[in-house]
């Protein structure tokens, strides 16, 4: 299980973490298993963890006044899932996080990750690069949502995250893109004839 995290650290830091340094990390994480539809976080509570996905898939979403779900982010293998705003500022979360598939996670808390970042340079670097990449990806998504049509949004999703398109139901993809499932269905149909 932990080798997945180790793999990830090596990949995104472009390094090879030593057994010794990785040992520090192991202690900071606890395994957690969720069945499909089980919750990791409920709206209103503080997000006290960051979770690394070993396998399975998760989503982070908000439910508005009309009961519509808006998916803020997906997570799959070797991604992190958390409400970073709530986690960092210890404020109540506006989001729910639940499992789209049966999922295995490595969970760590704020304190643990902070001391880990102090004791392990590679964990620190990893955290840094994670944030940097997250921001870059999020800003691109902002651009897509403010400037693209429904069709362009879907094409952009296929280009950036084809895995999502294969793996998640269309209603969730629509929610992630900020369009209705009906519109997504029509967009896909019209793309077939092109």
- Contact residues: a second copy, CB under 8 A: 62, 64, 68, 70, 72-73, 84-85, 88, 94, 127-128, 131-132, 134-136, 138-143, 145-147, 176-178
> Judged by CB under 7 A, which of 111, 114, 182, 191 binds DNA?
182
Q: Is 170 in the site for DNA (CB under 7 A)?
A: yes
- Residues, the chain, total? 194
Sign of CA dihedral 171, 107, 105, 33: negative
Pick 95 or 168: Cβ nearer DNA: 168
Task: Give the closest residue to 42 by CA, choosing from 104, 99, 97.
Answer: 97
Q: Is 162 in the site for DNA (CB under 7 A)?
A: no
Pick 48 or 62: Cβ nearer DNA: 62
> 3-state DSSP call for residue 97?
strand
For residue 126, what are the contacts with CB-CB under 8 A and spacing of at least 6?
8, 9, 12, 13
From residue 61 to residue 100, the character string flagging contacts with DNA as x (rule: CB under 7 A) and all else as - is -----x-x--------------------------------
**What distance in Å separates the CA atoms of residue 81 and residue 61, rounded to the nearest whole number?**
12
Q: Is 186 in the site for DNA (CB under 7 A)?
A: yes
Min dist CB 165 to DNA, Å, is: 10
Task: Give the closest residue to 169 by CA, choosing from 186, 156, 181, 161.
Answer: 181
> Judged by CB under 7 A, which of 1, 121, 185, 191 binds DNA?
185
Task: Give the closest residue to 20 by CA, choosing from 120, 114, 117.
Answer: 120
Q: Is 149 in the site for DNA (CB under 7 A)?
A: yes
Distance of CA 81 to the CA centre of its chain: 4
> Judged by CB under 7 A, which of 15, 109, 160, 183 binds DNA?
183
Pick 10 or 161: Cβ nearer DNA: 161
Q: Which does 143 bind (CB under 5 to 8 A by kind): DNA, a second copy, none?
A: a second copy
Q: Is 194 in the site for DNA (CB under 7 A)?
A: no
> Judged by CB under 7 A, which of 129, 151, 156, 165 binds DNA?
151
Task: Give the closest residue to 62 by CA, choosing from 70, 53, 54.
Answer: 70
**What distance in Å separates the CA atoms of residue 164 and residue 33, rounded to the nearest whole number?**
21
């Amino acid at each position: 299980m932990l080798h997945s995290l180790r793999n990830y650290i090596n990949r995104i830091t472009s390094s090879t973490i030593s057994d010794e340094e990785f040992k520090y990390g192991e202690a900071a994480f606890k395994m957690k298993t969720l069945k499909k539809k089980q919750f990791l976080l409920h709206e209103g509570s503080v997000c006290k963890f960051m979770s690394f996905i070993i396998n399975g898939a998760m989503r982070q979403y908000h439910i508005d006044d009309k009961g519509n779900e808006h998916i803020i982010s997906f997570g799959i293998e070797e991604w992190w899932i958390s409400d970073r705003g709530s986690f960092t500022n210890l404020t109540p979360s506006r989001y729910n996080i639940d499992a789209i598939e049966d999922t295995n996670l490595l969970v760590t808390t704020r304190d643990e990750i902070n001391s880990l970042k102090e004791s392990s340079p590679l964990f620190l670097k990893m955290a840094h690069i994670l944030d940097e990449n997250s921001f870059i990806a999020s800003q691109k998504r902002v651009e897509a949502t403010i400037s693209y049509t429904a069709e362009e949004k879907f094409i952009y999703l296929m280009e950036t995250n084809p895995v999502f398109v294969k793996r998640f139901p269309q209603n969730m993809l629509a929610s992630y893109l900020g369009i209705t499932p009906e519109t997504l269905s029509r967009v896909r149909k019209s793309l077939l004839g092109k």
